[in-house]
């Protein structure tokens, strides 16, 4: 079954699946009927025996066999623009090439472009027919490379689209050399995070506090159908050359097609929360790989930009035995974790042929798992001394991990990293000196990116003490959409490097896109020594009043003939999807949309003109409201086009709650508002902390009341009516 949830309301939700460097635009195929595009040519890849693959993965993990954490099967292909897919010209004159790739039973699909030569003005997209997409990719997405990998998209079908001016589109040289059938979602979509064992420790937790710099050097590697870990290394010139260390056994295929994901870290210690995966670098050049110490050194196609705030780890090539060790890694491709060994390692060999390693006999905190391969270990001086080869460690038995020795790899690495002695400290291109009083808001959570039918939010923030003094007091500044911040006092005890989750109260929000910004200020009652790290922001989309509407499509055996569009009754396209795989009668497509009051049309097209029923299966469609009531349906017995019109009414909060009548207008407001509250004895306007900022006593018998907001700053407020033992509130947005 396909399943997707989309927030529409009065605005269509953004469907970009943020990932590697992209340069704007949108696939034409997501609104194909509007542009006169037919369904793309469909290629179905061979099925995968998932049970057999999962059994192999479990056996390899049990044996401690080195290798990337496999999440998918790579199908070798050779699809190019000259012999596959089809070209079309859309009404604006743009040339568009498309090819649909279907992997039966896949939870995600990825593509690798083994030839990627893109002229100026041309963009490449990879998209799910039901909405999310990656791109547009240009030559600048993988600078200096002639091939490029992409991160997978959730679902079993993707479409590759090339678009550009007619004068240059035909000069594009693009070959899809690999299609990845993911049987375990690598991240995002169906998985997101949390596949590793429960004993793993998020890097934001206290164990990570002394290692904040080294944590920033570590990245997840997505390589074909598997994942590993690696880290940026400093060099003697300290010039920011993006040297990247990982394990030799992770190297299979071309590293030019690898994707490196930085800063995929949970913003909270517990519970684990997801984080953006959009800080990526695509492509690298292999400089060194050797099985003797299982080492591989790469140079990334480009240095991570300043906005990634990465760190280049220092190292020790002396061979001195460390007193203790710390590992930082992405187990099973999960969000970044940290492990601690409080005892010295021992010298040992591991693998066949044997590699010279440091053996971690027991992890005191955390563990490693497949996917941790290539991750570094750092000694007590915060210098890297090796990278993970393999071992038997997991949450049930955190023993016997083996790391290729950096000192024995040094003769191969020295020509690239330079000769500046046995040790080199790390390098921070954005380095700052720790200050005494420095508080920071590192994350905003419990705030979904999309809210349906809700008119307020109750988020939390993570407050961190980045200073050298114990933090006992601070003020949080809470602002919505750039308005004047509300001040929220905080007091407690945070040691240097510690974090705490802090609620910021209930904040009223209106329909549309918003940005919440929360900043720390006045740590310990004094000016912040490093204001650059004070604030965190999060954008979210609200549809209110609104409700979830479900569309259920049941396909016949010829899914490739079926496409659909959801529009307003005025013809504005909200979403579109299809075609689907053939040979699966009864396949269901389950779609959920957040829609406000109004009328909508679901258009279902069948390119063969025989509908969805009944010679090749009993297809049809239903539209249901949030309570499961039928809003519209089709029995599938149409020819080439079916139209299902349905209307949504009564989504306002006053119609859905047993509460006394209250209305206010206009909202948003500039200065004056009218409040309809015939039962009220007092009307108050509250700021985001719940503090009254305007208070009005009401005369008995008055039905409507005028309030002057001229003294209020722009931002979010609550308007409260009270009387007769009742209290009712509505959100208000002041905009000037």
What does the pLDDT look like over 253-302, one tens digit per residue? 789 889 999 999 988 888 777 777 778 888 899 999 999 999 999 999 88
pLDDT band at 636 (very low <50, low <70, confident <90, very high): very high
pLDDT of 546 > 70? The answer is yes
Q: The pTM is what?
A: 0.61
438 vs 16: which has the higher pLDDT? 438
pLDDT cut 70: percent of the chain above it: 92
Order the strands of the 2-7 sheet from edge to edge: 2-7, 588-595, 547-554, 620-624, 630-634
Closest CA to 250 of 285, 226, 220: 226
CATH 2.60.120 holds for 14-182: yes
* Cα 379 to the center of its chain, rounded Å: 32
315/385 Cα distance (integer angstroms): 6
Structure confidence at residue 399 (pLDDT): 84
User: Would you give the DSSP letter of residue 628?
Assistant: S
Structure confidence at residue 662 (pLDDT): 75
CB-count exposure of residue 419 (10 Å: 0-12, 13-18, 19+):
exposed
300 vs 597: which has the higher pLDDT? 300
Structure confidence at residue 193 (pLDDT): 39
Residue 556 tokens read as: 């016949």
* Cα 90 to the center of its chain, rounded Å: 32
**Rounded mean pLDDT of 143-147?**
85
Residue 554 tokens read as: 């049941």
Structure confidence at residue 9 (pLDDT): 37
pLDDT of 61 > 90? The answer is no
The CATH number given to 201-424 is 2.40.10.120
For residue range 101-110, list pLDDT tens digits in order: 999 989 899 9
pLDDT cut 90: percent of the chain above it: 46
CATH 1.10.10.10 holds for 658-734: no
Residue ranges covered by each domain of the chain: 14-182, 201-424, 439-543, 547-648, 658-734
Average pLDDT for the chain: 86
Q: Give the residue numbers annotated as catalytic, written as ranges.
A: 249, 294, 373
97/126 Cα distance (integer angstroms): 12
**Rounded mean pLDDT of 548-574?**
88
Q: Which of 139-148, 238-247, 313-322, 354-363 has the lowest mean pLDDT?
A: 139-148
CATH 2.60.40.10 holds for 439-543: yes
CATH 2.60.40 holds for 547-648: yes
What residues contact residue 377 under an 8 Å CB cut-off, 6+ apart? 325, 326, 327, 341, 345, 358, 360, 384, 385, 386, 387, 388, 403
Q: β-strand 2-7 against 588-595: which pairing, if any?
A: parallel
User: How many other β-carbons are positioned within 10 Å of the β-carbon of residue 522?
Assistant: 16
Is it true that 14-182 and 547-648 share their CATH fold? no
pLDDT of 689 > 80? The answer is no
pLDDT band at 660 (very low <50, low <70, confident <90, very high): low
């Amino acid at each position: 079954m396909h399943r997707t949830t989309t927030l529409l309301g009065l605005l269509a939700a953004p469907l970009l699946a943020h990932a590697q460097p992209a340069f704007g635009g949108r696939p034409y195929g997501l609104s194909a009927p509007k542009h006169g595009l037919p369904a793309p040519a469909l290629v179905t890849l061979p099925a995968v025996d998932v049970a057999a693959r999962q059994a192999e993965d479990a056996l390899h993990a049990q044996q401690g066999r080195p290798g990337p954490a496999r999440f998918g099967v790579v199908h070798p292909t050779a699809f190019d623009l000259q012999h596959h897919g089809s070209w079309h010209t859309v009404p604006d004159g743009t040339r568009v090439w498309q090819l649909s790739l279907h992997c039966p039973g896949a939870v995600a699909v990825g593509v690798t472009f083994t030839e990627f030569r893109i002229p100026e003005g041309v963009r490449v997209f990879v998209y799910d027919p039901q909405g999310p997409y990656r791109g547009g990719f240009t030559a600048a997405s993988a600078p200096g490379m002639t091939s490029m990998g992409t991160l997978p998209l959730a679902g079993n079908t993707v479409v590759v689209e090339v678009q550009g001016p007619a004068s240059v589109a035909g000069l594009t040289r693009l070959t899809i050399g690999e299609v990845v059938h993911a049987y375990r979602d690598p991240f995002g979509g169906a998985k997101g995070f949390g596949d590793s064992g429960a004993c793993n420790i998020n890097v934001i937790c206290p164990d990570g506090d002394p290692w904040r710099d080294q944590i920033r050097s570590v990245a997840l590697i997505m390589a074909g159908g598997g994942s590993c870990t690696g880290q940026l290394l400093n060099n003697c010139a300290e010039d920011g050359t993006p040297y990247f260390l990982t394990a030799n056994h992770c190297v299979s295929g071309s590293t030019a097609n690898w994707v490196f994901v930085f800063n995929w870290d949970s913003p909270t210690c517990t519970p684990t929360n997801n984080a953006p995966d959009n800080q990526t670098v695509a492509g690298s050049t292999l400089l060194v790989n050797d099985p003797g110490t299982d080492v591989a050194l790469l140079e990334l196609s480009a240095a991570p930009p300043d906005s990634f705030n990465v760190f280049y780890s220092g190292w020790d090539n002396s061979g001195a035995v460390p007193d203790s060790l710390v590992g930082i890694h992405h187990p099973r491709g999960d969000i970044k974790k940290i492990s601690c060994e409080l005892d010295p390692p021992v010298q040992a060999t591991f693998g066949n042929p044997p590699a010279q390693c440091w053996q971690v006999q027991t992890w005191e905190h955390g563990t490693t798992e497949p996917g941790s391969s290539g991750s570094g270990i750092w000694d007590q001086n915060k210098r890297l001394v090796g990278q993970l080869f393999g071992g038997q460690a997991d949450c049930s038995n955190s023993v016997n991990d083996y790391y290729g020795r950096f000192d024995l790899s040094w003769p191969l690495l020295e020509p690239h990293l330079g000769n500046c002695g046995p040790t080199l400290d790390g390098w921070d291109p954005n380095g700052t000196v720790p200050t005494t009083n420095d508080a920071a808001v590192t994350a905003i959570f419990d705030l979904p990116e999309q809210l349906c039918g809700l008119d307020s939010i109750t988020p939390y923030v993570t407050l961190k003490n980045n200073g050298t003094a114990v933090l006992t007091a601070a003020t949080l500044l809470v602002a919505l959409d750039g308005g004047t911040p509300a001040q929220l006092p905080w007091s407690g005890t945070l040691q240097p490097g510690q974090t705490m989750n802090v609620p910021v109260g209930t904040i009223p929000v209106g329909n549309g896109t918003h940005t919440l910004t929360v900043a720390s200020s006045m740590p310990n009652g004094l000016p912040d020594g490093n204001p650059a790290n004070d604030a965190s922001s999060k954008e979210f989309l609200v549809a209110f009043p609104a409700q979830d509407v479900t569309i259920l499509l049941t396909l016949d055996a010829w899914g490739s003939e079926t496409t659909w569009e959801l529009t307003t009754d005025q013809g504005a396209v909200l979403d579109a999807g299809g075609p689907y795989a053939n040979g699966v009668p009864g396949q269901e497509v389950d779609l959920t949309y957040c829609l406000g009051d109004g009328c909508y049309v679901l258009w279902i097209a069948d390119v063969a003109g025989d509908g969805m029923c009944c010679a090749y299966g009993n297809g049809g469609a239903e539209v249901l409201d949030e309570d499961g009531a039928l809003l519209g349906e089709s029995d599938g017995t149409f020819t080439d086009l079916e139209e299902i019109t349905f209307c949504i009414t009564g989504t306002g909060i006053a119609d859905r709650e047993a509460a006394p009548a209250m209305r206010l207008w206009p909202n948003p407001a500039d200065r004056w508002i009218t409040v309809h509250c015939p039962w009220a004895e007092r009307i108050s306007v509250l700021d985001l902390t719940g503090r009254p900022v305007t208070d009005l006593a009401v005369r008995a018998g008055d039905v409507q009341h005028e309030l002057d907001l001229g003294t209020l700053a722009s931002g979010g407020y609550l308007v409260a009516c009270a009387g007769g033992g009742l209290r009712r509130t509505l959100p208000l947005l002041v905009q000037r």
